[in-house]
Amino acid sequence: MRDFIIRRLLYAIPTLIGISIITFLIARLSPGDPIRLFTFGIRDFTQADYEHLLHVYGLDKPIPLQYVDWITNALRGSFGESLIYHRDAFAMLIERVPATLQLAIAALLLQLVIGVPLGVLAALKRGSWIDGAIRVFGVAGHAVPAFWLGLILIIVFAVHLRWLPSIGLLTVGHDQWDIVDRIKHILLPAFVLALTGIANYSRILRTETLDVLAQDFVRTAHSKGLRERTVVFVHALRNALIPVVTALGGILAALVGGALVIEQVFSWPGVGQFTFQAAIAKDYPIVQAGVMFTSTLLVLSYLVRDLAYAMVDPRIKVS
Amino acid sequence: MTHHLTARTVLVVAAAALLVATACSPGPAASSPTPATSEKPQQGGKIIQGDITDIATMQPILSADTSSSRIINLIYDTIILADPNNGEPKPRMATFSISQDGLTYSFEINAKANWSDGKPVIAQDWLTGLKAVGKSQKTVRKSSFQDIEGFLDYCVGSASSGCKGTAKEISGVTIDPVNAKKFSVKLRKVSCPAIIDLNGYTLPTQVFGKYVTDTSKDEIDTAPENTNPTVFSGPFKFSEWRKGDQIILDKNPDYWQGAANVDQYIVKVVANQTAIANGLKTGELTWGGIQPKDLADMQTVDSVRITKYSNLGYTFMSWNTLSPTAPALADKRVRQALAYGIDMDQVIKAVVFGEATKQVAHHVPVQWAYPSTALEQYKFDKVKAQQLLTDAGWVKGSDGILAKDGKKFSLTISTNSGNQERETLAQVAAEQYKQLGIDAKAAPEAFQGLVTKLTTGDPVIEGNIIGWALGAEPDPYQIWHSSQIPDRTKGTTGFGFTGFKDSEMDKAIEAARNPANAADCAIATRKKNYETFNKILNENQPYNFGYANNVIVGSQKTLQGFDPHPFNQIYNVYQWWIKQ
Amino acid sequence: MATTTAVVRVVGAGVMARPSRSLWSNAWWTLRRDRLTIGAFCVLLMLAALSLAAPLFSQYVFHYKFEQQDLLHTYEKPQLDNLAYLLGSDEIGRSQVVRLLYGGQISLFVGFTAAFFNLTVGVALGLSAGYFRGLLDDILTWVITTLNGIPQIYLLLIIAALWRPGPFTLVIIIGLLNWTGISLFVRGQTFALREREFITAARTIGARDRRIMFRHILPNVLPLIFVLAAIDVGAIILLESALSFLGLGILPPTPTWGNLLTNAVSYFVRAWWLVVSPGAMIFLTVLCLYLIGDGLRDALDPRLKTH
């Protein structure tokens, strides 16, 4: 087991290096540059000034040298300074992490709270129209474009019914600890983010529950006289949730990465939206920090998931 | 953009201002201030504003974005202020005069002007700001001061911009040995725009002096006081910056023009423009900009007052007269046809819901440089447009598309994607030009690529939609002088991407910028030159000058004293008060 | 497909040998009775036909071109009086229904073309890695885990924001980013198949590697690749529409279902019906593709459903 952990950790290193190279290249090789962007139209700003600024920010060095500079600094913990905000890129990124994390966790909760019961219900009511509807939802939930669903929900709940807000995470002027206000803001984006997960879980739980229901120990429990519902919830669920729990880390990380579009739709001030705006403004340090951060999170979460699988089910091959 | 002033005598300025103010100008009148009440201003309350981006810095010499400038203007006063109505430079913390030969500018700082720590604002503070620009590596403002004698010897930076970094002092700046509040600045040549640039940056020497000593390098760029300032000359003091969330300013009780009436000025970072509109509706925000598409909705809100004024800037379509793929653009008649051939009123209705005024030349109505003689308004006239095109040799082929010498008239109108207004404008314009028989199409692309193509004079650009934000200084040298046309063979860049040049126009621009006789920097004389300049542009239409859109500002009715103008929205912020 | 070899159905656990043609005929038999999948297939065909016929519709039914504007009739409600405004008109008076039809062309084109790239790259790399193993496999695994380490849509959006590709470049970029799942699957199958007797037999005869890969392994992997393909096309259509929505993919005036929603925020109050139709089309198309994928999988290998 220890060997396995060490081996997996070692495998993660070349992956992270590969990710850093990709991240760096997609940023620095892209056409155009940020200096031209933020100095467009400034009075008296000459070509000479432009070349000077390029030099000051180290953008005129050959790409491999820039990469070496960047990676050595990154290993020391510094991802550089934002070209536009002149503040530490990583620090700015971290400021945004709580917002995205809240969204991802809320989505995860919704997935479990809605998806799991749906799946169990479908299994229990197998063959009925409820089962059919949930199974259709299981597929349809993946086919809905997330951004469109967000827009429709905004139109229904924010514009017409005015029950829920559509922008940001807090109403301007409200206290940070106004929980009710925060829940109102997080409800719609978290639901949209959770949708594919809900569909997934309903399918997985349905299958797992069906499997479990057919097994011997259930029949034994039945014969003991326990009510079906108890049997299901106590025994079936416990086994069925194993794959769910072990995948939690990966799901969380994936949610962090996948929240970008939803953050855009709801103007949610998270990491994804921040990195995206930085990409539009070509603020390289932030883009690079953002991608590295999300990717490292994902890679680590895969590691944790593999470990969890290995610990939970020794039958599964570990290499 | 920095302020600019030519002031031979205040009388001439005032007279000219009167002339401009009464001149017939299309578009909405400048807003009248909130009705004068005889009420005494109440004390207390907060002013809360919404902004879409967080600030970058509170160091004036490094600021390159509007969010940062907004805060900087609240905590640091400048020696000159552009008149909010017409942009002429007026004294603020200092009075000024210009020598007969136009080369020496003398300033005297107001006796009352002081810093929040009690020390008076002195000439040395202005010099500290100038030296900071000289020593900074990251500032984008160095070139504004290169006409000051000795500045190039002092500044460090790109050698190609002339900075030598050899001198320890700036020879052109002389501080009066007797009166610490008096100083004079000597220029290398007569420059009408100079006074706006000479506003410079007045920084507290007691804080920033240590970054501009003889041995200092570029420590000013990373000074902690850039993000945590401690001494202020403006109506507000920096209190707290909750990064990514909001900036809190407290009132400066020692403000030299009188302490503000409100207790705090807060700028909150909000998600987008709609959030600002929402904030105004709920009363969470005290004032903010409103987009035309939200105007109708806003007008139904009782608690919000709407103020409109014409923008200091315009959105336009530029024509590349040197385009190899659209040779028609080289012909003046074609460009005039492109002006007659588009129904700008319809376009303005569709794109900005009618909230704009058509432009036919460079300067906008709120500037004193706006020509008072009538210009050709290019009213929508399809027949005339068609006639001009025929005169230019473009005849409709069997497919309905104009052709000349076997070549079809095709036109690609680029613009930057992500800007809904401009994308819509591009598509509407393309459709209208199709009616004339031009094979026109809209082609949005990313701003980053567009900017590079424009400034390097990439011939692939034919028509392009973009906008200019103008300043108090009307000098159009960087856009319209022939030296600013990018040249790929020489590798020079510039904003003259139409390739249009005219020697008369060049002369007029030069005469209004660096006249031989300093007396010609008087507003009246400069205005005459700009009349010539605008007339040439109006006739030749290297741009279709598009429109100057209206700035719409919403404010709570409880906010009194609020008086936004094209040139300055917060000039009297210390006089605002909240009716409780 | 070789007639002498047995088709091996490879599944997580056991291996069963069946007479060669029954996989396909079995599958066909199952499919024929799967009304849902058949229905989805028909709907998809209909959508494709409608999109391809967009120019005809535009000219003969609606009498309105897709870029045609009418500044006097902006934000029209859906109506029957003017067929061109059947689904309403947008901010400059363009016909929503005509643009919707043309939009289908782009979405389906991007979907199928990029999926084709994905499959080509994925299958080729997966086969090679699974067959040759060793260093090639290690490098490929490294590339795959690296690519998988960056959340996919995140990477695509960042690349699109930085590079601003045109439509054809976009197809290539999506094609080069989405193949990891396919290649992992193919690689896994190849691994397992490689050890089977019929492969050893072929090698003993002296068959070249390439022949073995293409004539023996590939056909056995192929059926399930169809499943992956259907799902892939659906996923790509979702990706492309998200990109266009954000203003990064295909830009106006060319209409795509995604960029018809770019200005959705301005439609909220004035013309909410404009938000419904493009998204509904995307949903319908992708749903059909996913149902077809599901149906194919059920038909070809029902045991895979549980995973």
Q: DSSP secondary structure string, C158-226?
A: HHHHHH---HHHHHHHHHHHS-HHHHHHHHHHHHHHHTSHHHHHHHHHT--HHHIIIIIIHHHHHHHHH
- Which tokens sit at A120? 């169990």
CA distance B279 to chain A (A): 6
CA distance B256 to B253: 9
* Structure tokens, B134: 């000289």
CA distance C153 to chain A (A): 6
Q: Using CA coordinates, name the residue in chain B closest to C161.
A: B446
| CA distance to B122, B155, B220, per residue, from B136 (Å) | 22, 8, 6
Reported confidence tier of residue A315, pLDDT bands at 50, 70, 90: low
C105: its two tokens: 């062309």
Q: Give the span between the Cα atoms of B366 and B20, in whole angstroms.
A: 9
Residues of C in contact with B448 (CB under 8 A): 164
Pairs across A and B, CB distance < 8 A: 121
By C-alpha distance, the chain C residue nearest B446 is C164
C-alpha–C-alpha distance, residues B530 and B368, integer Å = 10
If one compares C295 and A311, the residue with the highest pLDDT of the two is: C295
The strand pair at B577-578 and B264-269 is best described as unpaired
As a dihedral over the C-alpha atoms of residue C161, residue C165, residue C167, residue C172, rounded to 10 degrees, the angle is -100
Evaluate if residue C305 carries a pLDDT over 60.
Answer: no
pLDDT of residue C12 exceeding 60: no
Count Cα atoms within 13 angstroms, Cβ side, for B349: 11
Residue B269 is predicted with a pLDDT of 87
Report CB contact under 8 Å: B444, C252: yes
Q: Give bridge partners of residue A168 from the DSSP assignment.
A: none
- pLDDT for A126 equals 79
- Provide the pLDDT confidence category of residue A158 given band limits of 50, 70 and 90: confident
pLDDT beyond 90 at A282: no
Question: CB B277: neighbour CB atoms within 10 A?
Answer: 24
Query: Which residue is listed with tokens 């004068």?
Result: B36
Cβ atoms of C186 and C123 within 8 Å: the answer is yes
Please report how the helices C273-300 and A146-153 are oriented relative to each other, as an axis angle in degrees rounded to 10: 140
A298 touches chain C (CB under 8 A): yes
Name every chain C residue with its beta carbon within 8 A of the beta carbon of A205.
Answer: none
Question: Where is pLDDT greater, at A77 or B202?
Answer: B202
CA angle C224, C12, A243 (to 5 degrees): 105
Average pLDDT estimate for C216-223: 78
C contact chains, 3+ CB pairs < 8 A = A, B
CA distance B456 to A27: 22
Which residues on chain A are in Cβ contact (under 8 Å) with C307? none
| Residue B85 reports pLDDT greater than 80 | yes
pLDDT of the residue at C23: 67
CA distance C152 to A234: 37
Per residue in B303-317, pLDDT (tens digit) is: 999 999 999 999 999
- Rounded Cα–Cα distance for residues B461 and B433 (Å): 17
User: What pLDDT, on a 0 to 100 scale, did the predictor assign at position A53?
Assistant: 86
pLDDT band at C10 (very low <50, low <70, confident <90, very high): very low
* Tens of pLDDT, residues B488-527: 888 888 899 999 999 999 999 999 999 988 888 888 999 9
Tokens representing B321 are: 């007269």
The reported pLDDT for the residue numbered C302 is 57
Q: Which of B57, B65, B136, B158 to mutate to test the interface with A (most CBs of A within 10 A)?
A: B158
Is the distance from CB of B303 to CB of B557 less than 8 angstroms? Answer: yes
Q: Nearest-CA residue of chain B relative to A271? A: B244
Q: What residues in B contact C69, CB-CB < 8 Å?
A: 427-428, 431
Predicted local confidence at residue A224, as pLDDT: 66
Q: How large is the C-alpha radius of gyration of chain C?
A: 23
Q: Are B33 and B563 spatial neighbours (Cβ–Cβ below 8 Å)?
A: yes
- DSSP SS3 for C249: coil
The chain-wide mean pLDDT, for chain B, equals 88
Subunits next to B (3 or more Cβ pairs <8 Å) are A, C
- Would you state the pLDDT for residue B47? 94
Smallest Cα distance from C294 to chain A, Å: 9
Check if the beta carbon of residue C285 is closer than 8 Å to that of residue C112. no
Measured between CB atoms, does C67 come within 8 Å of chain B?
yes
C90 neighbourhood in chain B, CB within 8 Å:
none
What pLDDT score was predicted for residue C21?
53
Ordered alpha helix ranges (H), A111-178: 116-124, 129-143, 146-153
Question: What would the pLDDT profile of C173-200 be if each residue is shown by its tens digit?
Answer: 898 888 888 888 888 888 877 777 677 7
Two tokens, residue C23: 């996989």
Q: Which residues of A touch C272 (CB under 8 A)?
A: 155, 159-160
Q: Name the residue of chain B whose CA is nearest to A277's CA.
A: B53
pLDDT at C306: 39
Task: Confirm if C243 and C170 have CB atoms less than 8 A apart.
Answer: yes
CA distances from C302 to A133, B526, C296 (A): 21, 85, 9
Reported ipTM: 0.84
* Closest Cα in chain B to A41: B468
Q: Which residues contact B543 (CB under 8 A, 6 or more apart)?
A: B316, B317, B318, B319, B498, B537
Distance from A252 to chain B by nearest Cα, in Å? 24
CB atoms C164 and B445 under 8 Å: yes
Question: What is the pLDDT, as a whole number, of residue B149?
Answer: 92
Mutate to test the interface with A, among B191, B451, B460 (most CBs of A within 10 A): B451
Model confidence pLDDT, tens digit, residues C162-171: 888 878 888 9
What would the pLDDT profile of B340-384 be if each residue is shown by its tens digit?
999 999 889 888 989 999 999 999 988 999 998 889 999 999 999
Question: In chain A, what is the straight-line distance between the N-terminal and C-terminal CA atoms, in Å?
Answer: 11
Rounded (5°) CA angle B498-B503-B504: 110
Q: Rounded to an integer, what is the distance from CA B232 to the centroid of its chain? A: 25
What CA–CA distance (Å, rounded) separates B377 from B362? Answer: 13
Pick the range with the lowest mean pLDDT from A147-151, A307-311, B228-232, B302-306. Answer: A307-311
Q: For residue B6, name the pLDDT band (cuts at 50, 70, 90).
A: very low
Amino acid A231: pLDDT:
63
Closest CA to B249 of B58, B42, B2: B58
Whole-number pLDDT of residue A218: 59
Mutation target to probe the C interface, by most C beta carbons within 10 A, among A16, A22, A93, A151 is A151
